Amino acid sequence: MGTLPKLAVIGAGVMGRNHLRAAQNGGIAIAGVFDSDLARARAAHTDFGATVLETLGSIDAAIIAVPTAAHFPTALPLLKKGVHCLVEKPFAATESECRQMIEAAAVNRAVLQIGHIERFNPAVEALAARKPAGITRLTARRAGPASARVSDISVVLDLMVHDLDAILTLKPLAVTTVTATGTRDQAEAELTFADSATASLMASRVATERLRDLHISAADHRWHLDYIAKSLAEDDGPPMVFTGDALAAQMQDFIASIEGKRLPRVTGEAALAVMKLAWRIEAALGAAS
């Protein structure tokens, strides 16, 4: 393997610190951490030994873990300079912003990867490896107590996007109808695919307990996936439990993409498809309220 890219973490809040921790545990070299709040960057240095960066002029790649509204203004100038970017989900605030970032990455030969972390959950990887065929019904539930960490986006963009990404990965077919009910903090959506298969999604950030699971019915098999337990049960069999650090695996995938070994698992185009479906759900919520 050649020289590793100089990889910086931009944003030293909760997610930035999670990335720094995963890098430390996974033996992934981080060139430094940058945050507009110098005190937060210094705290990250104290806790993880990450060098505090005053500028971003000498980096090759960046993990962008800032609030959603800042994804575009942070990533676009870097992509235009050919800096590879792993941008936390949700991708960006508008379709125009997403497309500008995709174009800048293509023109300047920069890797653009979006942080749909559940793709790297070992239970999800095990399910995807089985290539479920003939899926007729998917049911996703994702709930937890209120958190002060994310308040600038709806529960659809905060939580439900994880399951939308998983569902579109397992069922890469056009969604013909979308209905939704709920509020900014708790929502339910029903999707119908071009082959008449359906998906039901529930997301809440005002629940009393954490829940993250996915149930799949297909022509010959049924699967139940527990994201938290990292387990997968097929038909009536016992759950298989997997191990692995999804954040570290995502970083390794990013680095491998930079080295030209493969395309990133979650490209800008794939993430934009998720966002377009999320925005349809938000529009349906607005119409129903």
Q: What is the pLDDT of residue 1?
A: 40
- Report the predicted TM-score, pTM, of the whole model to 2 decimal places: 0.94
Condensed to tens digits (0 to 9), the pLDDT of residues 123-160 reads 999 999 999 999 999 999 999 987 766 668 999 999 99
Q: Are residues 196 and 147 in the same domain?
A: yes
Q: Are residues 283 and 153 in the same domain?
A: yes
Tell which residue, 241, 221, 279, has the closest CA to residue 68. Answer: 279
Question: What's CA 6's distance to the chain center, in Å?
Answer: 22
**Residue 98 placed within a domain:** yes
Total domains in the chain come to 2
Condensed to tens digits (0 to 9), the pLDDT of residues 92-122 reads 999 999 999 999 999 999 999 999 999 999 9
CATH number at residue 103: 3.40.50.720
Q: Which two tokens stand for residue 266?
A: 């979650």
Q: Which domain holds residue 199?
A: 119-242+275-288
Containing H/E element for 129?
Answer: helix 122-129
Q: What DSSP string describes 34-79?
A: E-SSHHHHHHHHHHH-PPBPS--TT-SEEEE-S-GGGHHHHHHHHH
